């Protein structure tokens, strides 16, 4: 079968890889000169989240699925994308410590929670805190590197087009969606078109009825003059080691915003938080970036086939946890298309009624 994927961010890349591995021909199209969340994200895989220290949704399935798929892509593309990195987080007071210890006694939690972790060099570079807690099985995915490496391969194979989608060219012909993209020849009929546009999906008339949301995040990239930490640190914001003594610092979170550009106010917020953390070393701010994450009001992905247009599919709404959600979400989508398997009801777009 032939597929067209609109949007070659993380969701589109993983979905296309799965289809290609199954022996199908996949073309890709992506809008030019727009900042995708995939290019800004740190790719944090965090099993324990929030102030209540709750296990991430389906994390017991998500991590094994992610490791397998990212490992496959590492072999295919010849680059490393998955990095096992311990996560150390601050406990601010006795109440936090009591809550952490109580939660770590709950069934299914001890695997992911550590009361007395090794903080590495974090105490040398930061102010002292009440206590540290450790999150096991945390990781970082080089999302931007993965998307870029995959795109390079697609361009070499002449299967990528850097153009806006023209949704007016999505007629339905006997169950096949044809000519869904400018630049795709009218004779190029696709058995399926999959929409993975991220925040840009709000312009897609076919899926406009879904309750799309957006969350703008801003981050700093910082280079220190001290040895690189070998673990991630959360102290109000994340400090994530990348390479060459460089760190990802963030992120802010805004549900109401005017555009996807970085703002002076959020830069100051991040700089102030960073100054609270890195007190034991000098550093330089290399860049300040912003992007909009696609979100869903019930915090579950959008996966499924359009209720009135056979062959037109969506995978979207990955939010802040795309690095962990996309591998499993892409499998559910591909298995539904190729094997007619049911998509879990909690992420199936049929939970919302088309208008």
Q: Tens digits of per-residue pLDDT, 229-244? A: 889 999 999 999 998 8
At 27 the pLDDT is 93
Task: Report d(CA 121, CA 244) in Å as an integer.
Answer: 16
DSSP notation for 196-209: --GGGGGG-TTSTT
Enter the pTM of the model: 0.92
Q: How far is Cα 97 from Cα 57, in angstroms, rounded to an integer?
A: 23
The phi and psi torsions of 293 (rounded to 5 degrees) equal: -85, 135
Exposed, middle or buried, 47 (CB in 10 Å: 0-12/13-18/19+)? buried
Instruction: Return the pLDDT at 170.
Output: 66
Task: Provide the 10 A C-beta neighbour count for residue 247.
Answer: 26
How much is the pLDDT for 188?
57
Torsion of CA 135, 136, 137, 140, to 10 degrees: 40
The predicted pLDDT at position 355 comes to 45
**What domains, with CATH codes, occur in the chain?**
2-40+144-212+298-351 (3.50.50.60)
Determine the pLDDT at residue 317.
Answer: 95
Contact 319, 216 (CB under 8 A): no
- Distance (Å, rounded) from C-alpha 23 to C-alpha 15? 13
Mark out the alpha helices in 161-277 (DSSP H runs). Answer: 264-277
Q: What are the structure tokens assigned to 186, written together?
A: 């009218």
Q: What confidence score (pLDDT) does residue 244 get?
A: 81
Q: Which residues of the chain have pLDDT under 50?
A: 172-187, 355
User: How distant, in Å, are the alpha carbons of 195, 254, 311 from that of 23?
Assistant: 20, 41, 18
The b-or-e profile of 217-241 (16+ CB within 10 A means b, else e) is bbbbbbebeeeebebbbbbebbbbb
Residue 347, phi then psi, degrees to nearest 5: -115, -10
State the pLDDT at residue 33: 66
């Amino acid at each position: 079968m032939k597929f067209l994927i609109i949007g070659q961010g993380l969701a589109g890349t993983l979905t296309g890889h799965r289809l290609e591995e199954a022996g199908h021909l996949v073309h890709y199209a992506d809008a030019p000169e727009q900042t995708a969340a995939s290019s800004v994200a740190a790719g944090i895989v965090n099993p324990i989240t929030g102030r209540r220290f709750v296990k991430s949704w389906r994390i017991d399935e998500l991590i094994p699925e992610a490791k397998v798929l990212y490992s496959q892509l590492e072999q295919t593309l010849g680059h490393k994308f998955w990095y096992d990195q311990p996560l150390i987080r601050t406990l601010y007071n006795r109440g936090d410590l009591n809550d952490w210890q109580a939660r770590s006694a709950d069934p299914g939690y001890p695997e992911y929670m550590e009361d007395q972790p090794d903080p590495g060099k974090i105490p040398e570079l930061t102010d002292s805190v009440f206590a540290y807690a450790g999150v096991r099985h945390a990781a970082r995915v080089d999302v931007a590197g993965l998307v870029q490496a995959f795109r390079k391969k697609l361009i070499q194979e002449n299967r990528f087009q850097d153009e806006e989608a023209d949704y007016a060219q999505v007629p339905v012909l006997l169950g096949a969606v044809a000519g869904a993209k400018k630049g795709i020849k009218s004779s190029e009929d696709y058995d399926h078109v999959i929409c993975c546009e991220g925040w840009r999906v709000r312009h897609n008339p076919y899926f406009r009825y879904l309750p799309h949301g957006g969350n703008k995040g801003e981050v700093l990239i910082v280079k220190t003059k001290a040895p690189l930490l070998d673990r991630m640190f959360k102290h109000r914001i994340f400090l994530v080691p990348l390479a060459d003594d460089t760190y990802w610092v963030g992120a802010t979170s805004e549900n109401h915003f005017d555009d996807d550009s970085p703002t002076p106010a959020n830069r100051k917020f991040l700089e102030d938080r960073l100054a609270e953390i890195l007190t034991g070393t000098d550093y330089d701010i290399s860049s300040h970036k912003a992007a909009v994450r696609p979100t869903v009001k019930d915090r579950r992905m959008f996966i499924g086939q359009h209720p009135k247009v056979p062959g037109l599919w969506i995978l979207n709404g990955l939010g802040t946890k795309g690095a962990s959600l996309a591998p499993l979400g892409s499998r559910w989508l591909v298995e539904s298309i190729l094997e007619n398997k049911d998509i879990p009801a909690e992420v199936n777009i049929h939970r919302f009624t088309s208008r």
